[in-house]
Amino acid sequence: MKPDWDKLMAEYADHPTIVIADVDCTAEGKSLCTAHGVEGYPTIKFGDPNSLEDYKGGRTLDDLKKFASESLGPSCDPGHLDLCDEDSKATIEALMELSEEEINSKVAEGTKKMEDAEATFKADVEKLQATYQKLMADKEATIEEVNNSGLGMLKKVRAFRKSNVEEKAEL
C-alpha cells in the first residue's frame, strides 16, 4: 500500500485545500497517533484534524484516488456554513451557542462513551478468546480420547468385514 499512498501524496502535493500525508507512529509521530486512536498500521484517517474519522474503503491507488476526489476537501463545518444544508447549519448554530464548559463536557462525555465501548469490546473479545481456547482444547482432548480408544481399529475391522461380505456375495 505504501507505494500507492506515496503516489497519492505526490498527486495532491500542491492542492490548495487537501493534505495527503503520512505519519510514522513509531517515531516522532507517536503522540499524534496516540491522540487520534491509531493502534494498528497502516491506519488511514481523514477529515478535520480536530475530529478525524476512520477510512474504511479500498487500499488500491484507484480506490484512494476515487475517495480523495469525491470526499476530501472543505465540508460543512463552522468555518464553511455555505457548504451546509439547512439542518446541518441549524445544528452548528445551536452548538455555537453552547458555553465552552458545555462543549467540553459533551466532548468528554462522548469520548468516555467511546473509550468505555472500546474497553468493553476488548474485555469481551478476551473472554471469547478464552472460551475459544477452552473449546478447542476440549475438542482436541475428545478427539484424542476417541482415537486412543480404538476407533481406528474399529474402522479397519468394519472395512475388512464389508470387503469380505462383498467377496462372498460375488462367489
pLDDT given for residue 117 in this prediction: 96
Q: Same structural domain for residues 130 and 81?
A: no
Per-residue pLDDT tens digits for 46-67: 887 778 888 898 999 899 889 8
Least confident of 74-78, 83-87, 154-158, 162-166: 162-166
Task: Band the pLDDT of 171: cuts 50, 70, 90.
Answer: low
Look up residue 149 and give its DSSP letter: T
In a domain, 148, yes or no: yes
In a domain, 107, yes or no: no
Element (H, E) at 76: none
Average pLDDT over residues 91-95: 96
Average pLDDT over residues 165-171: 70
Look up residue 54 and give its DSSP letter: E
Per-residue pLDDT tens digits for 116-127: 999 999 999 999
Taking the model in full, what pTM does it have?
0.56
Q: How many whole angstroms separate alpha carbon 45 and alpha carbon 106?
A: 23
Is residue 9 within 8 A of residue 22, CB to CB? The reply is yes
In angstroms, how far apart are the furthest CA atoms of the chain? 99
Q: Tell me which residue range forms the domain holding 132.
A: 116-170
In a domain, 128, yes or no: yes
In a domain, 110, yes or no: no
Q: Same structural domain for residues 71 and 141?
A: no
**Which of these three, 97, 132, 153, is where a domain ends?**
97
Amino acid at 142: T
E strand intervals along 65-136: none
